[in-house]
Amino acid sequence: MKKVSMKDIAKELNTSITTVSFVINGKSEAMGISPATEKKVRDLIKKREFNPNSAARMLRTGKSKTIGLIVEDIGNFFFGNIAKIIEIEANKNGYNVFFSSTENNDETAKKLINKMRNSSVDGYIITATQGLKEEVMKLGKENIPFVLIDRLIPDLETNYVILDNYQGSYNLTNHLIERGYSNIGFISIYSEMSMMSEREKGFLSAINDSGKELEDKNILKIEFGSNEEKTISLISEFLRKNQNLDALFFATNYLGVMGIEALQKCKIRIPQDMAIVSFDDNDLFRLLTPSITVASQPIKEMATKSIEMLLRIIKKEQRLNENKGQIIKPEIIVRDSTPPKIQ
């Protein structure tokens, strides 16, 4: 016997698939579907024993018990560990998690949100891309639970779990200054995303508060998505042009990893010739000789708080879109790459 689909139900009732989906998801009243139409849909679903994607449970509870997790790159150390912890905590509460990566592409992010919406997820945890504001606003208007993690969308009230990127960057820069480093380079990516702009602001504020001057040539920004070969080449060129630098601040861990390779290519020793710090930890930074000083994001705390917040919103224990969230402090982990500078 052919398996009955949502399309079959809609066709037999001469209605839209969207209407059937809203009924299955318990959104009839919110979407203006009449009680008579809702009854017809539910009656036919039962008659045809329609049961896709846990539809039977959804008919009883209005919940799919699934959560959509959309991050920048699931293969990244930070996001991969975030995903792992969210999955563990979600499973403890009876939820499954759909994972997807945007690669920081707006269109990919929009497609993923819509794809998961069609799969009837109960809520989202989203690392927003730069142009995702309208799509996120649409989720709020449709009362679909979501939490932003890692970065905010400017001028949009949402529920969120983010890091205090400004303070972490300020403290990491200040650590270098206190250890005697005076000519510090800053390597980041071109980005208007909140966490990257806050890291740059924290770095510049620490330099300014110390009374030191920073030349424009001390800052290198690389296009997001540049391949490894190009990134290493750009950092190597930056180092050759700025041989008077005594320290480097990498604004992300993947830049730090590629930056260390560039330093090796340029035969610059850590820390004898140059001190190194990175925002975001990485297993490599801990295992390298010398090990690398970092501003570490408390991954477990961020992941746990984000799933706890989303579940509260799903259960209506916390309001959606009330601009309520968590700002978590990073930890400065001092390692061998930043010894006191010998004057």
Other CB atoms within 10 Å distance of the CB of residue 74: 17
* Inter-residue contact 280 to 77 (CB < 8 Å): yes
Range among 14-28, 68-82, 160-174 rated most confident = 160-174
> DSSP for 199-218?
HHHHHHHHHHHTT----GGG
The total number of residues written for the chain in this structure: 343
Give the strands of the sheet with 96-101, arranged side by side.
Answer: 96-101, 66-71, 123-126, 146-149, 160-163, 325-328
User: How far is the C-alpha of 282 from the C-alpha of 256, rounded, in Å?
Assistant: 9
Tens-place pLDDT, residues 46-56? 887 776 555 44
Q: Which residue has the higher pLDDT, 106 or 16?
A: 106
Q: What percent of the chain has pLDDT over 70?
A: 94
Tens-place pLDDT, residues 243-285? 999 999 999 999 999 999 999 999 999 999 999 999 999 889 9
Tens-place pLDDT, residues 301-317? 999 999 999 999 998 88
Q: For residue 63, name the pLDDT band (cuts at 50, 70, 90).
A: low
* Inter-residue contact 11 to 48 (CB < 8 Å): no
Q: Which residue has the higher pLDDT, 60 or 246?
A: 246
Q: What is the mean pLDDT of residues 116-122?
A: 81
Output 16-21 pairs: Cβ under 8 A, ≥24 positions apart.
21/118, 21/120
Q: Which residue has the higher pLDDT, 60 or 317?
A: 317
pLDDT for 32 equals 82
Q: Extract the tokens encoding 178.
A: 């206190």
Q: For residue 287, name the pLDDT band (cuts at 50, 70, 90).
A: very high
Tens-place pLDDT, residues 102-116? 988 999 999 999 888
Q: What is the mean pLDDT of residues 205-225?
A: 92
DSSP 322: S
Taking 90 as the threshold, does the pLDDT of residue 3 lie above it?
no
User: How far is the C-alpha of 275 from the C-alpha of 339, rounded, in Å?
Assistant: 8
List of domains in the chain: 6-61 (1.10.260), 66-163+299-329 (3.40.50.2300), 165-297 (3.40.50.2300)
Q: Extract the tokens encoding 116.
A: 């998961």
Q: For residue 160, name the pLDDT band (cuts at 50, 70, 90).
A: very high
pLDDT for 67 equals 93
Place of tokens 């329609």: 50
Tens-place pLDDT, residues 130-158? 899 999 999 988 889 999 999 988 888 88
Taking 60 as the threshold, does the pLDDT of residue 192 lie above it?
yes
- Of 160, 134, 162, the residue nearest 146 (C-alpha): 160
Q: For residue 1, name the pLDDT band (cuts at 50, 70, 90).
A: very low
Q: Extract the tokens encoding 230.
A: 């190009």
Q: What is the mean pLDDT of residues 186-204?
A: 93
Q: Extract the tokens encoding 238.
A: 């930056």
* Inter-residue contact 87 to 40 (CB < 8 Å): no
User: How far is the C-alpha of 41 from the C-alpha of 281, rounded, in Å?
Assistant: 52
Residues 6+ positions from 29 with CB-CB distance below 8 Å: none
| Helix boundaries (H) for the chain | 6-13, 17-24, 35-47, 55-61, 77-92, 106-118, 133-141, 165-178, 194-209, 228-241, 253-265, 283-287, 299-314
Q: Report CA dihedral (105, 109, 115, 120) to the nearest 10 degrees.
A: 160
